[in-house]
Amino acid sequence: MQKKNLIFLLTVALLLVLDQVTKYFIHTGLALHESIPVIPGFFSITYIRNPGAAFGFLAGASPTFRYVFFIGVTIAAIGLIIHYLRTYAAGDQLLTISLGMILSGAIGNLIDRVRFGEVIDFLDVYLGTTHWPAFNIADSAISVGAFILFIHLIQQKKSAPGSLPPRQG
């Protein structure tokens, strides 16, 4: 197995297990909407169910539409990530890790959508009464992975204007 593939699979596996284990403990250990302050006035563990996507996107759409839409988008994203990994990530560990992070988050939230019809969120960051939308490990992996990928692509563009990363041969 290539080192790139091993790094990718370890990243996906580690974050996926962490995501699913934390969601299991939230689901079995807290009542829906129960909250445990960790840093009063700033951070709590709060059991929330999100039928939509980030920031409640499509939360008001019919359950059937959401189910088909989110599963379709996730499957397309998985295909694109694997294609990008195979085509452009040769020897680039940071790119490989970022793609693994995004994939693990996509799969983690897909598992929730298939099991529950919605996603378990529990990380509740706020300042006084102003709350950031609750999120989970999968959301964090997607966000951090996408940020790393974005920075990587900008740096690559600066070093080789007008060109894509080299194709794997």
**Which pTM was predicted?**
0.85
Q: Spot the catalytic one: 19, 112, 124, 139.
A: 139
- What 61-67 contacts at long range (C-beta under 8 Å, 24+ apart), as own/partner pairs, is 63/117, 66/113, 66/117, 67/113, 67/117
SS3 (DSSP) at 47: strand
Q: What are phi and psi of 2, to 5 degrees?
A: -65, 150
- pLDDT score of 88: 75
How many other C-beta atoms lie within 10 A of the C-beta of residue 16? 21
- The identity of residue 5, as a single letter, is N
CB 54 within 8 A of CB 133: yes
Cα separation, 164 vs 158, in Å, equals: 11
Q: Spot the catalytic one: 19, 112, 121, 124.
A: 121
CB 121 within 8 A of CB 135: yes
Q: Report the range out of 22-36, 91-105, 117-131 with the highest average pLDDT.
A: 22-36
pLDDT tens digits, one per residue of 1-11: 688 789 999 99
CB 35 within 8 A of CB 44: yes
pLDDT tens digits, one per residue of 119-146: 999 999 999 889 899 999 999 999 999 9
Q: Is 139 a known active-site residue?
A: yes
Q: Is 92 a known active-site residue?
A: no
pLDDT at 82 over 70: yes
- pLDDT score of 161: 54
